[in-house]
Structure 1
Amino acid sequence: MAAADKSASSTPAQPKLVVVLVVDGLPQEQIQRYREQFGQGGFRRLLDQGAWFGNAHQAHGITVTAVGHAAVLTGAYPYQHGIISNNWIDPNNLAPVYCTQDTAHTYLGEDTRNEDGTSPANLRVSTVGDELRYASGNRSKVITVSGKDRGAILLAGKTGSAYIFMKKSGNFASSSYYMQSHPEWQKAYHANKPQDRFYGKQWTPLLADAAYASDADDNLVAPALADGGNRFPYTYSSKSGKPDAEYYGKLFTGPYLDEMTLDFARAAVAGEQLGRNPAGVTDVLGVSLSSHDYVNHSYGPESRMSHDHLQRLDRMLANFFDYLDKTVGMDNTLVVLTADHGFPNVPEFAQSRKFDAQRLDSSKLMSALNQHLSEKFGADKLAYKWSVPSVLLDYKQIEQKGLKREEVENSAARFLMTYNGVATVYTRSQLENGAMPDTRTAKLMQRAWHRQISGDLVIVTKPFWQFGSGNRGTTHGSPYTYDSNVPLMIMGKPWIKAGAYGQYAEVVDIAPTLSHILRIRPPAASEGRVLTESLR
C-alpha cells in the first residue's frame, strides 16, 4: 500500500493551463540561425527548459496556414480533417470556398463579408479542446486569439471560443457561432481603443547594425518602392491622418499586431480566469501570431526585416511568459510552440546562390495545358479551374465526348511534367486508388488530398520554384523541407523532460501527446504518436 501511495504522489497533477502558441510562417532554421541573439526569457527559455524537436515537420504536402493550424490540435491530416488549403474550388458547383467561411454566422458588432471566416463548419474532426471539454463536462475553457480568422478558429475547434483581429476597426471580435454577445472583459479591453496606440510609431531595427550583417540585401529580396514604404523605418499611419482600416491593415506587417495579440491573450487569461478552474480541470489558451508570415511573404526569411521581427517576437514571448508565471504559475502551465508552415527563400535570392529558382505563372500553365488537351482530344477547356496547386478537369465534358477519364488525366500529367518548373504530377485516379510512388513527396501529397473536395491533377513544383509572378517576396505551400520543417517545443517542468531531441516528429504528434498528459481520449482522427521520449 505504501508503494502504491508513493507512486500516486509522484504522478504530477494535470496542468491548470495549456498554452498553444503557433507562430505563422516560422521555419525551424530561423530558430537556429538567430538563436544566439535571443534574450533569456522567450525562445531561449523554451529551448533550455523545454523539449525541442529539431526534426519536426508539418507532414502534409500543401503547407499553408489553414492546413497547418488544423493539424496542431486535431492530430489529423487534410484527407480526414477536410481543410485542404486556405481557399479551394468546390468541385460540385465550382464555387470558391474559404476554409473557415460560414454565411450562417456573422462577427459580433463588426462588418462581415460572405467570404469572412466565422466558424469551423469546414473542419470535419474534433480537437484536443473539444475532447477536453467533453471529458470535463464543459467546465474546461478553450479560448483562442489570432490576427487571422483561420488561425483562431481552427485552434478553437467546434466547442471553444475564437477571437479575431478586425482589419476595419482594429478590435478583437468573435462571431455568432460562439456567442450572442461579447463578455464584459472584451468590452473593457477595447474601451480605450488600445489598437490606436501604435499610430505614428515606427518600426526600426532592434539590434545594432552588425547583428544583421549576414542577412540578404534589401534590394535583392524586395526592390524599393517609389515611396520607400518597404524600408526601415516603417511608419504606421494612414492617408486620413488618423487610425482607420488602412492603418489597421498595415499593422499585420511588423511587430505591433503580435504585441496586441499577446495583450489580448493576457486580457483573456484575466477575464476568463484561465488556469484557475477547480482542481483537475484544465483550460486551453490558443494564440496564433500572424505577423511573421506577412513579413516573410514580403521580404523572405533571409531578410533583416524577418530577422528583426523574430527578435522582437522573442522579447514579446518573454514578457508573456513572465505574465503567466505571475498569474497562473509556469509550474502549473504547459506551453507548446510550433508553426503552421515554414518558408522558402525569395527566388531572386536563391538564384544569387546559383539555385534554379523561379516563379511559375499558373495562368500560363493552364493556357498551355488546355491547348495541349484541345489538340489531343478536340475539346476546349478540359482543364477548367485552377485551385493551387491543383487542376480541376471537366469530367462532364469528358463523358459527353466519350473520352476515357484516365486517358485524359494521364495525357495532362505527361504534358505537365514536361512544363518548365514542374517536378511531378499526381492524378485523381492515382490518388483514389493509392497507386502512388513510394516517395516522401507522394506520401505527403496523398495525405493532403481529400477525395470529396480536392482537385484532379495535383502539381508539385521543382525545389526552389513557386507558384506566382512578380519580382519580390516569396510564398510557401510545397512538400519540401524548407516549407515543412517547423519548430516543435513543449515546456512544462512537471511533465516534460528538457532537452534537444533529434527524433523525427510531426506537428500531428502534439494532439496525442497533450491528450496523454491530460488523460483524455485523443481527437477523433488523430494519427500522431505520443512523444514519450520527452515525458517525465
Structure 2
Amino acid sequence: MKKRMPTIPAPMRRLFLLTCLAATTALPALPAFAVEKTAQAKLVVVLVVDGLPQEQVVRYRDQFAQGGFRRLLDQGAWFSDGHQAHGITVTAVGHSAVLTGAYPYQHGIVGNNWIDPVTLASVYCTEDKNHTYIGEETKGSDGTSPANLRVSTLGDELRYSNGERSKVVTVSGKDRGAILLAGKTGTAYMYMSKTGNFASSTYYMKSHPQWVQQYHAGKPQDRFYGKEWRPLLPDAAYSGDADDELVINQKEKEKRFPFVYTSKSGKPDADYYKDLYTGPYVDEMTLDFARAAIEGEKLGQNPAGVPDVLGVSLSSHDYVNHSFGPESRMSHDHLQRLDRMLANFFTYLDKRVGMDNTIVILTADHGFPNVPEFSQSIKRDAQRLDSKKMLADLNQHLTDKFGQKDLVRKWSAPNFLLDYKLIEQKNLRRDDVENAAARFLLDLPGVANSFTRTQFENGSLPRTRMGTLVQRAWHRQRSGDVMVVTKPYWYFGSEAHGTSHGSPYIYDTNVPLMLMGKPFKAGAYGQYAEVMDIAPTLAHLLRLRPPSGSEGRVLTEILR
C-alpha cells in the first residue's frame, strides 16, 4: 500500500512560503558581467621552410636582418627544442604533421613514396589519377590531390566550423608541400618545373580564377633568366663555412658561385625553370604568388568576419642542402637571402592585413645532416648506404638460411617488404623470417637498429626515444615489414655527392618552431615542443574542434 504524505495545515503553508520569499529577497544582487568577445585573427599564415635545421637558424642568427627571422625570434615565441617527432623525417611526412597535429601512423603519409603491398607499385604521396593539373602536362604519378591523407587539417576544421566561409589557400615549390597543408577542403597551388607557372588541379577547381590567369600573363618566372646568384654578404661572413672540396663532388666543380640561370636553348625553357629550384628564385616567386593570392582571394578581409589561412611552403632550401649540405656557403647564403625575403613579406602583411590581425607560424618539415665528406673531416663515422646492394645481400642471406629465393620483395626507404604469401606457402614461420632479416641487417656497416612488423603490431619496440619515433612513423597498411635505422650521420644514398635526411636523430628532427602574433608571449622557450602542437594550439585560439588525428598539446606556456 502507498504511504500518504501528511497534510500540512494552511497556516503553516503560508508561513513557509513567506519565509522562503523573505530569504530570497534578502539575497544580494548578483553583479552584472560584461560578455566580451575575444577578437580573432583575420589571417593565419603558416610558413614551412623545407629542409631547415634549427641549428642553422641559431648559427647564423647574428647575420639576419631586422625584419625576417630576427623579427620572429625577437617578437615571437620561439622553441629551441622543437621537433618533428616521428622517425622518418622527409618532406611529405613533415608537411602532413604541421596542420593535422597527427603522427604518420594516423595520417597515413609514411613517406614521399611507399610500396603498395598488394600491387607492389610505387605510390607517390599525393598522386591521384582521377585529377590533372590545370593547363599543365600531368603524369600518372604527379601530385594532384590529398586523397592519401587520412585525417583532417586545421583548415578543414576551420571551413567546417564556418560553413566554408573561411578560405584556405596554400602555395609551394613542391606539390606535396602545398597539397598536404591545404587538406581536403583548401586550395593548393604548386610550381610547375616545365613552365614556371603555379598551377592547381582539377581536384580543387575546373579552371583557374582570374587573378591566377593575370599572374601567369606577366610571365614573372622569366625575369631571372641570365641572372646570377652571388653571395649576399662580404666574404668574411662565410669564413666558418665548409671548404667547397668537402661538399661538392669533383665531377661538379662548376657548381660554385656565381650560379647563372640560363639554358642551352638561349631562352627560358624547362631546363631553366627546373634549375631555378636550387637557388633563391623559386622561393621569391612563391612569396610573390602568396601576395597575389592574398590580393586575389582577399585573404584576411573576409566579409563574413571569419579568419582565413594561407600556407606557404618554401622549397628551395631543401634543394640547396641536398646538393651542398647545411655547412656550405651556398646554404648559408640561401638562408640569408630567404631571411630578407621574409622581411619583405612581413612588411607587406603589415600594410595589407596588419600584424595585429595576423598570426604567423614558421617551422620546417625536417632538418639535415652534414655531407658525409665533411663529417669525416671532423672525425665522425659517416657514409652513404647502397640500398640496392643491401636488398640483394639480404635476399641472398635468407635464401641461404631458408632455401627459398626472393623472400624480400621490395625496398622503400627505410622499409623492406617481405613476401608473406610465399613464406606461408613454404611453411615458414613469419616471425622466423622477420627476425632473421632483422639480425642480418644489424650486422651491416652503418645500421644502428632494425625493427620487425611483429614488433610494431605488438607494440614491443624498446621504450626509448628511437623506439617511440619509429613506432609513430609506422603505418600498418602502408609501411614495410622490416624497418632499418642507420647509424648517426649515415644515410641511404647511391650518389657520390650531397646529403639527405630521413632519420630519427636530432639533426633531422630539431626544426624551428616560431609563433608570432597578439596571442603569444614573446620569448625564447626551452621546453620540449613538437610541430604536432601547432594545430591544437591554433584550434584553441580559433575556437575550433582540433583536427581528427591530432595528438599534439596546446602550447599554453606561450599564450597571453
Fold match (TM-score > 0.5): yes
Give unmatched runs, 5+ long, in structure 2: 1-29
One-letter amino acid of the structure 2 residue matched with residue 158 of structure 1: K
**Cα deviation, residue 469, structure 1:** 2.6
Aligned to 2:3: none
Equivalent residues of 1:515, 1:521 under 8 A apart: yes
Cα deviations by residue, 1:236-287 (Å, 9 ceiling, x for unpaired): 0111000010000000000000000000000000000000013640000000
CA distance, structure 1, for counterparts of residue 447 and residue 400 of structure 2: 21
Aligned to 2:353: 328
CA distance, structure 2, for counterparts of residue 264 and residue 331 of structure 1: 23
**Cα deviation, residue 93, structure 1:** 1.2
One-letter amino acid of the structure 2 residue matched with residue 475 of structure 1: S
Aligned pair 1:424/2:453, yes or no?
no
One-letter amino acid of the structure 2 residue matched with residue 169 of structure 1: T
Equivalent residues of 1:64, 1:477 under 8 A apart: yes
**Cα deviation, residue 371, structure 1:** 1.1
Cα deviations by residue, 1:426-472 (Å, 9 ceiling, x for unpaired): 00000011011111101100000000110000000011111113331
Aligned pair 1:181/2:207, yes or no?
yes
Percentage of identical aligned residues: 73
Aligned to 1:19: 45
Cα deviations by residue, 1:118-161 (Å, 9 ceiling, x for unpaired): 00000000000000000011000000000000000000000000
Aligned to 1:125: 151
CA distance, structure 2, for counterparts of residue 264 and residue 2 of structure 1: 53
CA distance, structure 1, for counterparts of residue 254 and residue 173 of structure 2: 22
Among 495, 513, 516, the alignment partner of 2:519 is 495
SS in 2 for 1:503: strand
Equivalent residues of 2:283, 2:315 under 8 A apart: yes
Aligned to 1:160: 186
Matches within 5 A, 1:290-439: 290-439=315-464
Change (3 A) 1:2 1:234: farther
Equivalent residues of 2:242, 2:329 under 8 A apart: yes
Change (3 A) 1:109 1:403: same
Aligned pair 1:535/2:556, yes or no?
no
One-letter amino acid of the structure 2 residue matched with residue 534 of structure 1: I
CA distance, structure 2, for counterparts of residue 534 and residue 372 of structure 1: 54
Among 252, 257, 275, the alignment partner of 1:250 is 275
CA distance, structure 2, for counterparts of residue 444 and residue 476 of structure 1: 15
Aligned pair 1:524/2:553, yes or no?
no
Aligned to 1:54: 80
**Cα deviation, residue 224, structure 1:** 4.2
Aligned to 1:98: 124
Equivalent residues of 1:13, 1:280 under 8 A apart: no
Matches within 5 A, 1:215-226: 215-225=241-251
CA distance, structure 2, for counterparts of residue 49 and residue 455 of structure 1: 44
State TM-score, norm by structure 2: 0.94
Aligned to 1:465: 490
**Cα deviation, residue 383, structure 1:** 1.1
Cα deviations by residue, 1:152-188 (Å, 9 ceiling, x for unpaired): 0000000000000001111000000000110000011
Aligned to 1:115: 141
Cα deviations by residue, 1:393-421 (Å, 9 ceiling, x for unpaired): 01111011000000010011111111111
Equivalent residues of 1:14, 1:280 under 8 A apart: no
One-letter amino acid of the structure 2 residue matched with residue 89 of structure 1: I
**Cα deviation, residue 225, structure 1:** 3.8
**Cα deviation, residue 229, structure 1:** 3.4
SS in 1 for 2:395: helix
Aligned to 1:199: 225
**Cα deviation, residue 514, structure 1:** 0.3
CA distance, structure 2, for counterparts of residue 29 and residue 13 of structure 1: 36
**Cα deviation, residue 92, structure 1:** 1.4
**Cα deviation, residue 12, structure 1:** 4.1
Equivalent residues of 2:394, 2:441 under 8 A apart: yes
**Cα deviation, residue 368, structure 1:** 1.1
Change (3 A) 1:224 1:197: farther
**Cα deviation, residue 70, structure 1:** 0.1
CA distance, structure 2, for counterparts of residue 400 and residue 279 of structure 1: 63
Cα deviations by residue, 1:194-226 (Å, 9 ceiling, x for unpaired): 100000000000000000000001111113445
State how many pairs are aligned. Answer: 531
**Cα deviation, residue 2, structure 1:** 7.1
Equivalent residues of 1:221, 1:299 under 8 A apart: yes
SS in 2 for 1:197: helix
CA distance, structure 1, for counterparts of residue 328 and residue 557 of structure 2: 35
State TM-score, norm by structure 1: 0.98
Equivalent residues of 2:452, 2:482 under 8 A apart: yes
One-letter amino acid of the structure 2 residue matched with residue 358 of structure 1: Q
Cα deviations by residue, 1:323-366 (Å, 9 ceiling, x for unpaired): 01000001000000000000000011000010110111111111
SS in 2 for 1:180: coil
Among 255, 263, 270, the alignment partner of 2:288 is 263
**Cα deviation, residue 3, structure 1:** 7.1
SS in 2 for 1:504: strand
CA distance, structure 1, for counterparts of residue 304 and residue 130 of structure 2: 37
Select the structure of larger CA radius of gyration. Answer: 2
Equivalent residues of 1:100, 1:122 under 8 A apart: yes
Equivalent residues of 2:165, 2:304 under 8 A apart: no
Aligned to 1:39: 65
Change (3 A) 1:2 1:167: farther
Matches within 5 A, 1:43-82: 43-82=69-108
What RMSD in Å do the two structures reach over aligned CA positions? 1.0
SS in 1 for 2:231: coil
Equivalent residues of 1:348, 1:471 under 8 A apart: no
Equivalent residues of 1:297, 1:474 under 8 A apart: yes
Aligned to 2:172: 146
One-letter amino acid of the structure 2 residue matched with residue 509 of structure 1: D
CA distance, structure 2, for counterparts of residue 207 and residue 338 of structure 1: 25
**Cα deviation, residue 4, structure 1:** 3.1
Cα deviations by residue, 1:78-105 (Å, 9 ceiling, x for unpaired): 0000000000101111011000000000
**Cα deviation, residue 367, structure 1:** 1.2
Equivalent residues of 1:51, 1:490 under 8 A apart: yes
CA distance, structure 2, for counterparts of residue 134 and residue 211 of structure 1: 49
Equivalent residues of 1:300, 1:344 under 8 A apart: yes
CA distance, structure 2, for counterparts of residue 92 and residue 515 of structure 1: 38
CA distance, structure 2, for counterparts of residue 74 and residue 308 of structure 1: 32
Aligned to 1:511: 535
**Cα deviation, residue 40, structure 1:** 0.3
One-letter amino acid of the structure 1 residue matched with residue 434 of structure 2: E
